[in-house]
Structure 1
Amino acid sequence: MHELSRPSSIRVGAWIRFAGQARAVLAVSARSVRMTDRGGPPREVPPADLLSDEEFEVLGSRVRMPLPPESLLEELPERVREKALWWEEHILEVLHGVGPGADVDAVPRPEYDPARRSLTARELAKAGELTRSGHRAGMSTVGNLRRRYQAEGLLGLVDRRQLRGKPRPE
């Protein structure tokens, strides 16, 4: 018999296995969990039904942070916006082991596996990878950008030096 427990990461953005399918969690309340599979219509189920499913498991959370209001993104120069999106791909690999475009069943590369490597070790690995590929990025840069991304989302990855002297959007 499947024992009921309270998984710590049933939250918006998490991937779960329910009824034999991987589904993204869209909303969570005391009465229901709203989820979808890839391309399927959203489905709502009571948390008790979800937790009593023999195949239920939390697969992970590989979702990007919400985008800032469109007007703020539009105000950024294209090169600054593209660089922030480039960094987002790398920061998400540090956080989750795989990038945002990876399949839900994708296996992290060993140096980015959150189950085997500490966050500090993953930041160090990313700094080394970027440096070897010609991008100067120290571990402190990767760590600072990771913390800013977690706090501010995509705008936390904007290189503010590129914006000096530009009027702030109201």
Structure 2
Amino acid sequence: MGARSRGPGGPVVEVGSRVRFEGRTWTVAALHGGQVRLIAENGEMAALLLSLLFADEGFGVAAAPAARRVPPLGLLKSLPAPVRERALAWERHVREVETGCPGGSAAAGPPRGAYDPDARTPTSAVTVRRMR
């Protein structure tokens, strides 16, 4: 979700990155407050401090997340106006929930208190995933 952390020597670890840890390859599922949540290829999950991840002898960034695709605007245009408006409203809301910043961009201003991901979660993760 927008969170990033720089490892030793500069590799950037962000949600979606594939990293090497304890001799295995994991996908970064979440970053929050100095912690990382990892998912292995077999579905095993691990939660640990970023400092422990970075300290692992075999640590490395195996792959960055895929580049974000251009939104399929043509598909949105084909929807009825009320459906399109609801989808766009949810998109703005989900991006703010993910980043804490209005419109999902730090350029739009600092996180509003109700959306600051370090302070609270305004809706369930399941709802955010579903609406995303």
After TM superposition, the score normalised by the length of structure 1 is: 0.38
> Whose radius of gyration is greater, 1 or 2?
1
Name the structure where helix makes up a greater proportion of residues: 1
Name the structure where strand makes up a greater proportion of residues: 2
After TM superposition, the score normalised by the length of structure 2 is: 0.48
